Amino acid sequence: MFKRITKLLLSGIAGAILIASAVTSHAGENWSMATSWGGGPFLKKDAEGFARYVEQLTAGRIKIQVFPGGTLGKPLKVSDTVKSNVAQIGHTWMAYDWGIDKTTVIFANMAGGLNPEELIIWFYEGGGAELASEYRREQFGVESIPCGIFPTEIFLHSTKRIQTLDDFQGLKMRTAGAWAEIAGNLGASTVILPGSEVYPALERGVIDATEWSSPSVNLPSGFHKIAKYIIMPGVHQPGAVQECPINLDAWNRISKEDQELVKLAGRLMVMESWTRYAYHDIDALAQMRAHGNEFVKLDPEFIKAAHEAADKWSDEQAAANPWFKRALDSRRKFQKALRENWNFFRFPIGM
């Protein structure tokens, strides 16, 4: 059904603006895309899918060649690669830049943040996308559009059973972004590793546990084959936003119409990735269960402590960083409205 709707949307929009945009656009743009992904669905489905949508919507005026992470630049420094025009566009997770400015974790999402559905609403109706664009332009010198959604993650693939805060003490775990500091404050020993190093580190016992992504993304990585315990829910990452940073010179070269079409390609991939991951996560969990993994649900007190630690960490950042405060205030205002109203009329997914 989604694919049929997408095809109708593509043909209708492209046909309606073809004449106007052809007049105002340049002869054509051939962009290189730097990514943070060495392979898997983030590269093959999300990044390459976005590139196809852009080419379709612009009737071929903008073509994007997608490169695996590390080909054009450091996979965790995609915004640098794009700003320097080695690549004209990127596909990444904004919080990989958190070492430069921790505000990135608000837009990328973090513990205590929003689930995938809430992220979509905040970005497209609550001003999140416009705020992220302004922030990236001002602080990093690139344009920014949302171009996909990461689902709620598995909290941990672990060789140790983790359920309480006491279990968490001293756990050697791989993570990234704000959670690296917050988990440390809760008692874990955290390390940041690139994707290619996570499996061997877990297999050799260099780490006890890792977070990575959702069930359907983690399944082909094989973490469940070397770590018995699957810890849920993903309190550290209830959802996340894929970002496409764009070189400002390249962005300003294309017409306003084509700029809107590139944004539309991002919106289409947000919807496609959200539904795809949500659907395939169901089967992935069933396969992990059939493999004999033990599923462990975190104690409510652990979840409460994680949220409190995330709020405390966020308040500390906001006190010292005006941009962090501005982004956090926007997200919290939206969250407050959700909590005061949605619980009265919305059923949880799966009811």
Residue 273: inside a domain: yes
Is there a domain that residue 285 lies in? Answer: no
- Where does a domain end: 279, 310, 333? 279
d(CA 266, CA 107): 15
- Among residues 195, 202, 193, the alpha carbon closest in space to that of 224 is found at 202
Residues 81 and 146 in one domain: yes
pLDDT of residue 26: 55
Verify that 267 and 179 share a domain, yes or no.
no
The domain of 23 spans: 2-150+240-279
Pull the structure tokens for residue 15. Answer: 């046909």
Query: Is the domain of 184 the same as that of 233?
Result: yes
Query: What strands, in cross-sheet order, belong to the sheet with 240-247?
Result: 62-66, 29-35, 89-93, 240-247, 142-150
Judge whether 286 lies within some domain: no
Would residue 265 count as lying in a domain? yes
Tokens representing residue 149 in the block:
């959604």
Q: Which of 274, 235, 10 is nearest to 120 (CA)?
A: 274
Residue pair 118/326 in contact by the 8 Å Cβ criterion: no
Shared domain check, 125 and 268: yes
Query: 58 with 21: CB under 8 angstroms?
Result: yes
Same domain, 33 and 174: no
Residues 141, 168 within the same domain: no
Looking at residue 13, its pLDDT comes to 53
Distance of CA 36 to the CA centre of its chain: 11
Rounded CA-CA distance 245/78 in Å is 8
What is the pLDDT at residue 210?
A: 98
167 and 135 belong to one structural domain: no
Residues 131 and 244 in one domain: yes
Residues with Cβ < 8 Å from 210, sequence gap 6 or more?
A: 156, 157, 158, 173, 174, 175, 198, 201, 202, 223, 227
Which one-letter amino acid corresponds to residue 327? A
Selection from 231, 233, 239, 240 nearest residue 156 by Cα: 231
Supply the pLDDT for residue 7. Answer: 55
In the chain, the number of structural domains is 2
Asked if residue 229 and residue 112 are part of one domain, the reply reads no
Check whether residue 19 and residue 141 sit in a common domain: yes
Asked if residues 273 and 240 have their Cβ atoms less than 8 Å apart, the reply is no
CA distance 34 to 86: 8
Domain boundary at 222, 248, 279, which? 279
In the prediction, which pLDDT does 239 show?
Answer: 96
Phi, psi of 147 (to 5 degrees): -140, 20
The one-character DSSP state at 97 is G
What DSSP assignment string belongs to 297-345? EPPHHHHHHHHHHHHHHHHHHHHH-HHHHHHHHHHHHHHHHHHHHGGGT
- Alpha helices of the chain — where are they, by DSSP H? 2-24, 40-41, 48-57, 78-83, 104-108, 116-125, 128-140, 165-168, 178-185, 195-204, 215-218, 223-226, 248-253, 256-291, 300-320, 322-341
Q: Flag whether 350 is in a domain.
A: no
Tell whether 88 and 170 lie within a shared domain.
Answer: no
pLDDT by 10s per residue, the chain, length 351: 445 545 545 555 555 444 444 444 456 999 999 999 988 889 999 999 999 999 999 999 999 999 999 999 999 999 999 999 999 999 999 999 999 999 999 999 999 999 999 999 999 999 999 999 999 999 999 999 999 999 999 999 999 999 999 999 999 999 987 999 999 999 999 998 877 789 999 999 999 999 999 999 999 999 999 999 999 999 999 999 999 999 999 999 999 999 999 999 999 999 999 999 999 999 999 999 999 999 999 999 999 999 999 999 999 999 999 999 999 999 999 999 998 888 777 777 766
Residue 284 lies in a domain: no
Residue found by looking up tokens 């959700």 in the block: 338
Q: Please indicate, yes or no, if residue 187 is contained in any of the structural domains.
A: yes
- Check: CB of residue 153 under 8 Å from CB of residue 222: no
Are residue 13 and residue 57 in the same domain, yes or no? Answer: yes
The DSSP bridge pattern shows strands 189-191 and 209-210 to be unpaired
* Length in residues, the chain: 351
Query: What pLDDT does 337 receive?
Result: 93
Q: Give a yes or no: residue 220 inside a domain.
A: yes
pLDDT at site 4:
52
In 3D space, the residue among 95, 93, 94, 39 whose CA is nearest the CA of residue 67 turns out to be 39
The CATH number of residue 173's host domain is 3.40.190.170
